[in-house]
Structures are given as C-alpha cells and as structure tokens.
Amino acid sequence: MSVKRAKISLKGLVQGVGFRPFVYRLAKELNLKGYVLNDGRGVLIEVEGDAENIATFLKRLHTDKPPAARILSQELKFLSPKGYKDFEIRKSQKTAETEVLVLPDLATCEDCLRELFDPADRRYMYPFINCTNCGPRFTIIERLPYDRPNTTMKKFQMCEECYREYTDPKNRRFHAQPNACPKCGPKLYYWERGEITAEGNEAFEKLVGELKKGKILAVKGIGGFHLMCDATNEKAVSLLRERKRRKEKPFAVMFRDLTQLEEYTSPTELEKALLISPERPIVLVEKRRELAPSVAPGLKRVGAFLPYSPLHHMILEAVDFPVVATSGNLSEEPIVKDNDEATKRLSELADAIVLHDRDIARRCDDGVVKVVGGVPIYIRRSRGATPLPILLPFGLKRKVLAVGGMLKNTFALGWGNRVIPSQHIGDIENLSTLRSFDESVRDLLRLFEFEPEAIVCDLHPRYETTRWAEEFAKKRGIPLIKVQHHYAHILSVMADSGLPFGEEVLGVAWDGTGYGLDGTVWGGEFLRANYQTFERLFYFKPFRLIGGERAVKEPSRVAISILFDLFGEEALKLDLPTVEYFKPFERELLFKVHQKGINSPLTSSVGRLFDAVASLLGIRQKLSFEGQAAMMVEDLFDPSVGDAYPFTIKGREIDLSETFLGVIEDRNNPSLAASRFINTLARVVLEIAKRVGMEKVALSGGVFQNDPLVGRIKEYLKGEGFEVLTHSQVSPNDSGLSLGQAVYGGL
Ligand code: ZN
Ligand code: ZN
Ligand code: FE
C-alpha cells in the first residue's frame, strides 16, 4: 500500500453549506487521516492514506458535495506523508486575502419545518429554527470566515443540547452557525406604544390576534422589517397605503402555501418552481381572484411569495388569509433593519412592532422575479440571491468597484472571473438612500476585504452615484471610468449570458432614460457592441419631453408632444383623452413650450413611447410609480393579434409617425392598439437586425421586463435565424447596470 498526502484548497461556495462535515464523513469512510478547515479563501483539506482512496476522495469531493455547494476552483498538491493520527475538523484560519464566497439567506428547509410544527420537538413553534441546509447567512455575517463568533449570533451562548448538535459531525446542525433553541437563542418581543408588552410565544399570539383584527404590524424578518396586514381586508390595505404614502405601487402578498396561492392566482408550472425555490423570491403571477382591491390596483399580476422564515410559516399557518408583506419603510426610503430604528421610524406606520434580538448585519430586501418571454428574469435581485457571483467566461485584469445607476441601484464588486452584484439599494434620490448606498458599499468592501483598483460609474453628471464615485476615486487615488448608460446595459446582458471575450453583438437597449453621448436623453438604442467599445447604429427619432422630469411622470406630456410632431397646432383640436386631460390654457402653453423647446429635452426613449400609448388610449395620464403605464399597456396585449403598424427608417432614425397614427385610429379598441404597437416594436428589431446582419442580438434595459414584447422579438428573430441574448442572472432594468460597468472597468 502506498501512502500519500494530498493538500487540497477549494474556492467557491464552500462555507456555511455543510462542506466540512461532508469532508469529515468522506475522509472517515475512506480511512483517510488529516484535517479540514475554513480559511479566508475557502476550504483547506489535507488527507493522508492509501493512494487509491485519496483518488476516490478527490473524485467524490465533486460528485457527492452538499447541494448548495459550488466549487469554483481547486488547487492540489501531493506532499510527503506526515503521519496524521486521525481526521479532524480544525478551527478556522484567517488568511491575508479573502476570496471566499458568502452564501445567500436560505428558506427554511423541509426537515426544520417538520420539527417546527411537531409538538414533541424541542423547537416546536420556535421562530428561529434552522440547520446547515437553511437559515440566514448573508444577513448575519459580520466578517469572514463564516463562523459563529463572526456572525450576529455571537451574543447567544449555545445550551448543552445545541452545542452537542453543533459539534456532532453526524448531526444536521453540525456547524450550523445560527443554531439555536428556545432555551438559548433569540426571542420575539411585542412592542406597542413605547414599550415591550410581551415576549416569546405570547408575543407571537398577540401578533396573530392583531392581524386577525385587521391591524397593521411591523414584523422583523431576515433582511429587514415587513409591514404586514390581512391582504383580503380592504380597510387594512388602504390604511397601509395611506400611512406608507404609497399610492398605487403594488404590494407583495405572502401565501401560506401553493394551495392557498392558487386560490387567488394562476401560477404556471415554471412560476410554481420559482415560488418554492430556496431563494423564495416574490414572483409576479396572474391574479385569479381579487384580493383587497388596493393590493395591486389596475394590474393583471400580483407579486406573490411563500413563507421563507420559520416565523412566516407560523404566522401564515395561524391566520386563514394571505398577508400583505411589504418592506418596512416610508416610500422611497431604505428598509428598516434595527430594533431602535424600527421603534422610531415604524411606530407611525404600524399599530405594533414585533422585534427580535438576532441582529440583522445588513439590510436585504426581498427579490422579485417575473417570467418574461418564457424565461425567469429578475426585476430585483436581492435576498436569497445576493451575494452569489455572476461567473464570467474570462478573467478581469483588476479589482473593480462599479457603483451602478441612480434608479433601482445595485453596485458590484468584480475580480478574477466573477462579479458580485450587491443587494437592492433602491432609488438614490434623497439623502437617506444615498447614505444607505454609502454604508452598503463600505460594508461589502469590508466584508470581502476588497481594495478596488478602479471604480466605474455612469456618464450622467447628475447621478448621485457619479459624484460619489468621483470623490471615492480622488480619495483613494484610483482611476475612475465612466460608461455610457445603454452600453452598460448591453455589457450587462453580454456578461449575464456568458458571451466570450472578443465576440460582438447587436445590442438593443431600450429603457426609460439614460444620458447619451450627445447630451440628449437616450432610451431607444441599437448598438454594435463588444466588451471594449460600441457604436450607436440606429435609434428612435427623438421627440420632446415637455417639462423635462415632469414628462417622465406624466405620460400625457409625452403623448401631446408626439401629437404636436404629427399635427402641429391642429393637435389641440383633436378629440383625444390626451388633449382633454389638459385645461385649454395649458394646451396653448404646452404648444408654445414645445415649439421653442424650452426645458424640453429630446429623447429616443422607448419607455416614454409606451407612456404615450397609454395616454392616447386613455388608460393613464399621470403615473403614480415608475413603469406603471408600460405595465398597463403590456396587460392589454392579446396574443391572437398578429399584425403591426407601419414604420419607416430614414438614415439612422426609426420614425414611428405612422405607428402612432395607427394607435390613434384604433384607440377605441385599446387591446388591439396595444398589441399592434408591441408587435410593431418587435418588427422594428427584426428589420434592424436584418439590416445590420449580426448573428447575435442582445436585449437589455427596463423595457425588456415586458413579457409579450420579449416573446414577440424572440419569435420573430429566431424565425429568421438570429440568436437572442437576454438576461437571466441580473435584471434588464437599471439594477443590472453595475454588472456591465464592472466588466468594462475590469478589462
Ligand atoms: Zn433546516
Ligand atoms: Zn439551545
Ligand atoms: Fe436604463
């Protein structure tokens, strides 16, 4: 028998997934001696013993590894035997450079659920039950390596029984860092009118009782607080809207299980699979039966999700209605995560607050997923997915920090062959979100011990993130790289779909607004792009946004501007909902402003074209949240409509004059007009793709959250032999920008 010693260093998702106990069991089984430990780079293993057994060990390391584990790289060295006596799990080692991946928060597993509702189990109805296969990760880690003293669980001393589980390699809770029980772990507290009035099970009973009475409760979760109320109680839901100052933007609804969810909605098989995945995102599904009318007013879909923490399961089991679970904050502010912050900021919004004493290390909103063109895409990639990396088919040359855009911000860290997009930060339009952005960047830099060698931002001079990046670059003395908004969108979808370095695509970047190279507002762009450069090939003929920012919130202003382009002053005499929306004196004024172009920038934005259609069809004249009009137009789509309106291409400009004449003509049949309009846009893509003649067409930008539009484009293009690249790992909207920026800045 030849004795050998192998030293194996693994990188990837190997901490917090039960990797060490797996290695321990495998080594024992194969009669190998040595040790396994977590270090800052991943997992380090030494095995000594029979050469053949070592070979088996190396193979099974990959084939039998725990389900959540991902090995990204392996270093292997054979050394002379040392004479180890046994195999052991050693204490974690700190290394100079951190390269380990952190796991996202995982939904409660089936085993834990069974125990949670088993009256004989010692964790019966214990809202913090978890094991190696489930529970919080990203939101409790303070520093690496992932070990209990480095998490917010450090203040809880495990009781004897918990400690026995934690140290037994055969136990499901072996090194489950948040392991706890009612004897030794975190607890619920019920807070009302300035004081704590109940604890533990009593707090839970009060919470359930108040929800049943139609009250609004703030409930501390995994990545922050939710505001909860009965989703079938219109009085409660509309009061929540009033208090939260959120007019119509849909609320997410948590259902007990798929059975209850299917009473109210009609998820497809794919949507069901997404709903029950350990990530447990909010999934946009079609309504079947109305919940309280103000849950998602005027929309076909509702954001639905299933319980993902033990407390959620307990709540939904105890009440017999689905529950609105929306982030605990005032509109436009970051989600609240700390107890004292909650009692200050949420006491006005909620009738009572349910706190617990497991601190949340960093805020992380719920993620949102929608099936678009047959493929799930992120509307928001956050809790459950962050901080998993996007793997690149090439290596970055330097460590890069990309700050993202302004709306729906995420930032990203890129190095080697990976980019880690941050959790959802939000719209950075006020001081509190800017502060949250600043804190979150510093937090992830600290967590990953990441020293950026370059920083990337948008070209827009007035984005807060651009200013932040300029200052950061100056302070650190590192280069600042600015990337044009729509190019960053296309870079993002290129990286997202794994396009190799050196290839190029026809990039279709359609969104609300972005700062163009020529100082106008872009948003309907066709770009020839590779990872190093781009060229603007075609765009929609620009039109005026009357009143600038105001036009972004008032589709009627965009529509009347298009009417002025089509009919001149005659537009004012037209019998159209758009015109009627304005008072007679306003109409005259708007015409003059349009003529002179005062505070009316030119744009090619497709997002605004959708707004204009909504206005012309009389569906929506003013928005109460971003994207609302486009969603309503999307909802009108009828797949049985196959034809489209005419359009013309002059030089590099796509002229939709005839398209809009068609929309106006069909205005009494909004569904027909909306369907033909969407088909027209898809035909535009096909026509340009044919003219340009590049094989790969990549779609990115917020407009491509539109399911029928993406469906039609794929149908038309694939029919003519084109390959269509779309997003799957990050969002096509502005939250996906940071990936594109990171890739550009890292190369
Ligand atoms: Zn579990
Ligand atoms: Zn315990
Ligand atoms: Fe954009």
Q: Coil, helix or strand for 336?
A: coil
pLDDT value at 16 more than 80: no
What is the Å distance from ligand 2's center to 270 Cα?
A: 39
Longest CA–CA span in the chain (Å) reads 97
Sheet with 42-50: list strands edge to edge: 70-79, 3-13, 42-50, 33-39, 87-89
Mean pLDDT for the stretch of residues 717-721: 97
Full set of structural domains in the chain with CATH: 3-89 (3.30.70.100), 103-186 (3.90.870.30), 188-356 (3.90.870.40), 368-497+731-746 (3.30.420.360), 521-528+537-725 (3.30.420.40)
What is the Å distance from ligand 3's center to 465 Cα?
A: 14
Q: Coil, helix or strand for 468?
A: helix
What is the Å distance from ligand 1's center to 113 Cα?
A: 7
pLDDT value at 355 more than 70: yes
Minimum mean pLDDT range among 140-149, 179-188, 596-605: 140-149
What is the Å distance from ligand 2's center to 180 Cα?
A: 5
Q: What is the pLDDT of residue 169?
A: 82
Q: Under a CB-based contact definition with an 8 Å cutoff, are residues 679 and 469 in contact?
A: no
| Residue 481 backbone dihedrals phi, psi, to 5 degrees | -120, 130
Q: What is the pLDDT of residue 15?
A: 82
**Mind listing the pLDDT tens digit for each residue in 582-592?**
999 999 999 99
What is the Å distance from ligand 1's center to 348 Cα?
A: 35
CA-CA-CA-CA torsion sign (117, 122, 127, 130): negative
Distance CA 72, CA 417 (A): 10
What is the Å distance from ligand 2's center to 158 Cα?
A: 5
Burial class (CB in 10 A: 0-12, 13-18, 19+), 15: buried
What is the Å distance from ligand 1's center to 176 Cα?
A: 9
Q: Under a CB-based contact definition with an 8 Å cutoff, are residues 362 and 386 in contact?
A: no
Angle, helices 464-476 vs 431-447, to 10°: value is 40
Mean pLDDT for the stretch of residues 90-115: 84
Burial class (CB in 10 A: 0-12, 13-18, 19+), 592: exposed
Q: What is the pLDDT of residue 98?
A: 59
Return the number of other C-beta atoms located less than 10 Å from residue 182's C-beta: 18
What is the Å distance from ligand 2's center to 173 Cα?
A: 11
Q: What is the pLDDT of residue 330?
A: 84
Q: Under a CB-based contact definition with an 8 Å cutoff, are residues 276 and 270 in contact?
A: no
What is the Å distance from ligand 1's center to 422 Cα?
A: 25
| Ligand (nearest to CA of 187) | 2
Higher pLDDT residue, 284 or 21? 284
Question: Which amino acid, residue 490?
Answer: I
Q: Which of 331, 182, 165, 339 is nearest to 245 (CA)?
A: 331
Distance CA 656, CA 58 (A): 61
Distance CA 722, CA 738 (A): 27
Q: What is the pLDDT of residue 522?
A: 97
For 482-509, the DSSP string reads EE-HHHHHHHHHHHHTTPPTT--EEEEE
What is the Å distance from ligand 2's center to 417 Cα?
A: 41
What is the Å distance from ligand 2's center to 179 Cα?
A: 8
pLDDT value at 126 more than 70: yes
What is the Å distance from ligand 3's center to 96 Cα?
A: 38
What is the Å distance from ligand 2's center to 147 Cα?
A: 17
Return the structure tokens found at 70.
């991902």
Distance CA 615, CA 636 (A): 14
Residue 88 pairs in a beta bridge with: 35
Q: What is the pLDDT of residue 401?
A: 98
Is omega for the bond preceding 169 within 30 degrees of 0, making it cis?
A: no
**Mind listing the pLDDT tens digit for each residue in 413-444?**
999 999 999 999 999 998 999 999 999 999 99
What is the Å distance from ligand 1's center to 106 Cα?
A: 9
Q: What is the pLDDT of residue 96?
A: 56
Q: What is the pLDDT of residue 427?
A: 95
Q: What is the pLDDT of residue 460?
A: 95
pLDDT value at 67 more than 90: no
Please give all residues whose CB falls under 5 A of ion ligand 2, grouped by chain where several chains appear: 159, 162, 181, 183-184
Q: What is the pLDDT of residue 39?
A: 86
| Ligand (nearest to CA of 129) | 1
| Ligand (nearest to CA of 176) | 1
What is the Å distance from ligand 2's center to 163 Cα?
A: 7
Minimum mean pLDDT range among 68-82, 193-207, 224-238, 506-520: 68-82
What is the Å distance from ligand 3's center to 252 Cα?
A: 24
| Ligand (nearest to CA of 113) | 1
Q: What is the pLDDT of residue 94?
A: 72
What is the Å distance from ligand 3's center to 736 Cα?
A: 9
Q: What is the pLDDT of residue 17?
A: 82
Q: What is the pLDDT of residue 41?
A: 82
Return the structure tokens found at 126.
């214990």
Mean pLDDT for the stretch of residues 56-72: 89
Q: Under a CB-based contact definition with an 8 Å cutoff, are residues 710 and 372 in contact?
A: yes
Distance CA 422, CA 493 (A): 17
Q: Coil, helix or strand for 601?
A: coil
Q: What is the pLDDT of residue 92?
A: 82
Q: What is the pLDDT of residue 215?
A: 98
Minimum mean pLDDT range among 10-24, 203-217, 333-347: 10-24
Q: Coil, helix or strand for 276?
A: helix
pLDDT value at 99 more than 70: no
> For residue 594, what pLDDT band results from cuts at 50, 70 and 90?
very high
Half-sphere exposure of 424 (CA within 13 A, CB side): 28
**Mind listing the pLDDT tens digit for each residue in 251-294?**
999 999 999 999 999 999 999 999 999 899 999 999 999 899 99
Return the number of other C-beta atoms located less than 10 Å from residue 43's C-beta: 25
pLDDT value at 319 more than 90: yes
Polymer length of the chain? 747
What is the Å distance from ligand 1's center to 370 Cα?
A: 27
Q: What is the pLDDT of residue 175?
A: 87
**Mind listing the pLDDT tens digit for each residue in 400-415?**
999 999 999 999 999 9
| Ligand (nearest to CA of 514) | 3
| Ligand (nearest to CA of 165) | 2
For 370-408, the DSSP string reads EEETTEEEEEE--BTTTTPPEEPSS--SS-EEE---STT
Average pLDDT of the chain? 95
DSSP single-letter state for residue 570: G
| Ligand (nearest to CA of 732) | 3
Question: Which amino acid, residue 499?
Answer: L
Half-sphere exposure of 606 (CA within 13 A, CB side): 26
Q: What is the pLDDT of residue 721?
A: 97
Radius of gyration of the chain (CA): 27
Distance CA 695, CA 499 (A): 13
> What percent helix, strand, coil does the chain show, rounded to 5?
35, 25, 40
Q: Coil, helix or strand for 594?
A: helix
Q: Coil, helix or strand for 741?
A: helix
Distance CA 304, CA 306 (A): 7
Q: Under a CB-based contact definition with an 8 Å cutoff, are residues 523 and 529 in contact?
A: no
What is the Å distance from ligand 3's center to 653 Cα?
A: 20
What is the Å distance from ligand 2's center to 181 Cα?
A: 4
What is the Å distance from ligand 1's center to 308 Cα?
A: 11
Minimum mean pLDDT range among 186-190, 265-269, 389-393, 630-634: 389-393
**Mind listing the pLDDT tens digit for each residue in 479-534?**
999 999 999 999 999 999 999 999 999 999 999 999 999 989 999 999 999 999 99
Q: What is the pLDDT of residue 100?
A: 67
pLDDT value at 40 more than 80: no
